[in-house]
């Protein structure tokens, strides 16, 4: 098998790939990202494939968080192909960071993060046909797309409909109906409006019905329900005005914390904290009562932390002069525009210093600072220590 043809395949598709034989890497592309396909990463991929191959034929296709494809397949003999990641959309580091802590990326999270951030998005169809061509080059056979369709409507209907009928019949027999929708509406409305007192009153009331049964395994049921609660009340907080990046980041942190817990009482307590914390965040926003213009500025700044942001750029976004915007922003927030920009950027710097291996130069560049000295000076002014002192203190 001529490995050179796979260089051409990568050149056309842009999807990373690695060919390994008995633990030895024969080809890894892109070549400049040598730390992506580590021995541990490849061993986990190959082990998953061998387990999958015991009961299935063909390649193993995976859709992984936060939204990328990975495939493992046998080319010929002992040669294994690892294709991917192929990303669905462009990602920011803050979106990738929670997923880079997964065991799969224990020794290559920085390299994998860089790769995911730099990739051009690809569709599921493009990824599938790239995989099909990779196997064709080795075996002369093309994959059948219908074999790997996860959204077969007839299959879902055939399997779900009888189960749904039986499930609803059993619920009527045992009077085990779900918690009333009206109660959920009142709870989410309390979070959406930031009404903490109303939220506490609702939680003290006895409510008829039961929570949904998402799993017959008690531990999984508890964890699935936790994730559902985070999603439902996170959405309520978004409707209440909480910035989506903060809402999603809170959800990530809560779920990671829950994942590390083993005591059911601790998980239940954290679930209650989740709802109250979302409610408090919305309540704090309601107190600020910023004008639409200032809210627009704050949102723009939070969404463009990796760029250089100037008062003139914000003024253009708002359709007013820089001087007028500056006066309005400081009057409502109590902070000059420039200080607010620095504060938001430094909050992201905190995250990167604590949870990534990026150098100070890389972080300052990502956050749009012209040089590292300026970045260090701003960080020290806000936190009373240098970025490196902060990193050492966190580790």
pLDDT at 86 over 90: no
pLDDT at 177 over 50: no
Distance separating alpha carbons of residues 373 and 380, to the nearest angstrom: 11
- Residue 79's φ and ψ, nearest 5 degrees, are -80, 125
Residue pLDDT, tens place only, 288-319 = 667 888 888 887 887 788 888 999 999 998 88
What's the confidence (pLDDT) of residue 23? 86
Distance separating alpha carbons of residues 188 and 18, to the nearest angstrom: 47
Rg of the chain in Å (alpha carbons): 25
Residue pLDDT, tens place only, 224-263 = 889 888 988 988 888 887 877 788 888 888 888 898 898 8
What's the confidence (pLDDT) of residue 162? 40
Share of the chain above pLDDT 90, in %: 20
Distance separating alpha carbons of residues 1 and 134, to the nearest angstrom: 12
What's the confidence (pLDDT) of residue 288? 64
What's the confidence (pLDDT) of residue 205? 65
User: Which H or E run includes 314?
Assistant: helix 311-318
Distance of CA 293 to CAs 193, 249, 288, 319, 343, Å? 21, 25, 13, 9, 19
pLDDT at 93 over 50: yes
């Amino acid at each position: 098998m001529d490995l050179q043809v796979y260089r051409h395949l990568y050149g056309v598709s842009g999807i990373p790939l690695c060919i390994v034989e008995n633990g030895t890497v024969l080809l890894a592309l892109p070549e400049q990202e040598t730390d992506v396909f580590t021995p541990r990463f490849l061993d986990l991929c190959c082990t998953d494939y061998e387990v999958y191959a015991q009961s299935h034929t063909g390649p193993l296709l995976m859709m992984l968080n936060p939204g990328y494809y990975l495939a493992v397949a046998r080319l010929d003999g002992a040669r294994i192909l690892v294709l991917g990641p192929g990303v669905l959309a462009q990602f920011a580091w803050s979106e990738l960071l929670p997923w880079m802590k997964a065991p799969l990326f224990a020794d290559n999270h920085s390299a994998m993060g860089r790769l995911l951030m730099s990739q051009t998005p690809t569709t599921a169809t493009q990824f599938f046909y790239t995989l099909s061509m990779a196997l064709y080059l080795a075996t002369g056979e093309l994959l059948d797309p219908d074999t790997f369709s996860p959204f077969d409507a007839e299959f879902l209907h055939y399997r779900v409909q009888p189960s749904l009928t039986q499930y609803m019949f059993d619920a009527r027999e045992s009077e085990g109906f779900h918690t009333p929708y009206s109660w959920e509406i009142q709870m989410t409305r309390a979070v959406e409006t930031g009404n903490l007192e109303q939220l506490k009153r609702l939680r003290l009331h006895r409510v008829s019905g039961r929570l949904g049964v998402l799993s017959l395994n008690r531990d999984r049921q508890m964890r699935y329900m936790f994730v559902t609660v985070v999603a439902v009340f996170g959405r309520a907080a978004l409707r209440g005005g909480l910035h989506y990046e903060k809402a999603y980041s809170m959800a990530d942190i809560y779920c990671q914390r829950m994942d590390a817990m083993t005591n059911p009482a601790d998980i239940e307590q954290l679930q209650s904290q989740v709802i109250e914390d979302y409610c408090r965040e919305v309540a704090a926003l309601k107190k600020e009562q910023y004008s639409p213009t200032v809210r627009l500025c704050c949102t723009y700044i939070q969404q463009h932390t990796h760029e250089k942001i100037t008062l003139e750029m914000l003024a253009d976004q708002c359709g007013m002069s820089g001087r007028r915007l500056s006066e309005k922003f400081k009057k409502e927030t109590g902070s000059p525009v420039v200080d607010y920009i620095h504060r938001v950027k430094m909050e992201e710097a905190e995250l990167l210093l604590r949870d990534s291996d990026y150098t100070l130069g890389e972080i300052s560049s990502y956050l749009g600072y012209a040089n590292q000295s300026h970045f260090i000076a701003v960080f020290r002014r806000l936190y009373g220590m240098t970025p490196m002192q902060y990193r050492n203190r966190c580790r």
